[in-house]
Chains A and B, each alone.
Chain A
Amino acid sequence: MPEQSRDPVVDVRKLNIAFGKSSVVHDVDFRINAGETLAVVGESGSGKSVTSMAIMGLLPKGAQVNGSIRLGGQEVIGASERTMRSLRGEVASMIFQEPMMSLNPVLTVGAQVKEMLRQHSDLSDAEATREGIRLFDRVRIPDAARRFRDYPHMFSGGMRQRIMIAIALACSPRLLIADEPTTALDVTIQAQILDLLNEVQRESGTAILFVTHDMGVVANMADRVMVMRSGYSLETGPVGEIFERPGHDYTKMLIDAVPRLGEARHVPLKPSDAAAGKPILSVRNLVTRFPVKGGALRRTIGQVHAVEGLNFDLYPGETLSFVGESGCGKSTTGRSLLFLNQPNSGEIVFDGREVKSSNPSDVSYLRRNMQMVFQDPFSSLDPKQRIGDILSEPLLCHGLASKAEAREKGEHLLERVGLEAGMISRLPHEFSGGQRQRICIARALMLDPKVVIADEAVSALDVSVKAQVVDLMVDLQEELGLSYLFISHDMAIVERVSHRVAVMYMGEIVEIGPRDAVIGNPKHEYTQRLMAAVPDPDPTTDRSQLMGAPVVELPSPIRNLDYVPPARQFRQVGTDHLVAD
Chain B
Amino acid sequence: MKKMSFRLGLGLTLLVMISLIALFAPLIAPFNPTETTRDVLASPSWAHPFGTDNLGRDIFSRIVFGTRVSLQVGASAAVIAVLIGVPVGLAAGYFRGWVDFVLVQVIDIFIALPGLVLALIITAMLGPSVVNLAFTLGVVTAPTVARLVRGQVFVVRETLYVDAARATGAGGGWIIRHHIMPNTMRVIYAQFAINVSLAIFTSASLSFLGLGVPPPAPDWGGMVRDGSMFLPIRPMMSLGPGGAVALTVFTFYLVGSSLNDEE
Contacts and interface: CB of A to CB of B under 8 A. Distances in A.
Interface string B175-208: 0001100110000000000000000000000000
A142 interface: no
B225 to A, nearest CB: 46
Nearest to B166: A340
Interface in B144-166: 159-161, 163-166
Contacts, number: 66
B167 interface: yes
Contacts of B170: 393-394, 397
B164 A368 contact: no
A397 B167 CA distance: 11
A379 B160 contact: yes
Interface stretch (A76-84, A246-254, A318-326, A380-388): A380-388
Contacts of B165: 382, 393, 397
A372 B164 contact: yes
Given A385-B178, A389-B178, A379 B169 contact: no
Contact of B164 (A383, A389, A398, A443): A443
Contacts of A393: 165, 168, 170, 178
A397 B165 CA distance: 9
B182 A384 contact: yes
B161 A380 contact: yes
A340 B169 CA distance: 11
A367 B178 contact: no
Contact of A381 (B161, B166, B167, B178): B161
A371 B169 CA distance: 9
Interface in A356-413: 363-364, 367-368, 371-372, 374, 376, 379-385, 389, 393-394, 397-398
A374 B160 CA distance: 8
B95 interface: no
B171 interface: yes
Contacts of A384: 179, 182-183
A401 to B, nearest CB: 13
B24 interface: no
Chain B binding surface SS class = helix
B185 to A, nearest CB: 8
A447 interface: yes
A372 B159 contact: no
A367 B163 contact: no
A359 B179 CA distance: 25
Contacts of A446: 168
Nearest to B163: A340
B168 A383 contact: no
A374 B169 contact: no
A380 B182 CA distance: 15
A364 B167 CA distance: 9
Nearest to A334: B167
A372 B160 CA distance: 11
A338 B167 CA distance: 6
Interface in A337-368: 338, 340, 363-364, 367-368
Contacts of A371: 167-168
B163 A397 contact: no
Nearest to A360: B171
Contact of B168 (A335, A376, A385, A397): A397
Contacts of A447: 168-169
Nearest to B167: A372
A525 to B, nearest CB: 35
A367 B169 contact: yes
Contacts of B183: 382-384
Interface string A225-262: 00000000000000000000000000000000000000
Contact of A394 (B159, B169, B171, B182): B169
A565 B39 CA distance: 94
Given A389-B178, A393-B178, A397-B174, A382 B168 contact: no
A453 to B, nearest CB: 8
A394 B174 CA distance: 11
Nearest to B263: A383
Q: Which of B163, B164, B171, B178 has the most CB of A within 10 A?
A: B164
B81 to A, nearest CB: 23
A340 B160 contact: no
B160 A380 contact: yes
Interface in B22-51: none
Q: Which of B161, B167, B179 has the most CB of A within 10 A?
A: B167
A374 B164 CA distance: 8
Contacts of B168: 367, 371, 393-394, 397-398, 443, 446-447
Contacts of B160: 374, 376, 379-380
B118 to A, nearest CB: 32
A379 B161 contact: yes
Interface in B120-155: none
Interface string B244-255: 000000000000
Nearest to A365: B169
A44 to B, nearest CB: 20
B171 to A, nearest CB: 7
Given A389-B178, A393-B178, A382 B169 contact: no
B104 to A, nearest CB: 15
A367 B165 CA distance: 10
A383 to B, nearest CB: 7
Contacts of B174: 397
Nearest to B171: A397
Contacts of B163: 335, 340, 374, 380
Interface in B73-115: none
Contacts of A383: 183
12 contacts: A367-B168, A371-B168, A374-B160, A376-B160, A380-B160, A381-B161, A382-B161, A384-B183, A385-B179, A385-B182, A393-B170, A394-B170
List the 7 closest pairs (A to B, CB-CB), nearest first.
A367-B169, A394-B168, A380-B160, A397-B170, A384-B182, A379-B160, A382-B161
Given A379-B159, A398-B168, A443-B164, 14 more contacts: A335-B163, A338-B166, A340-B166, A363-B169, A367-B166, A367-B169, A380-B160, A380-B161, A382-B183, A385-B178, A393-B178, A397-B165, A397-B168, A446-B168
Interface of B: 159-161, 163-171, 174, 178-179, 182-183
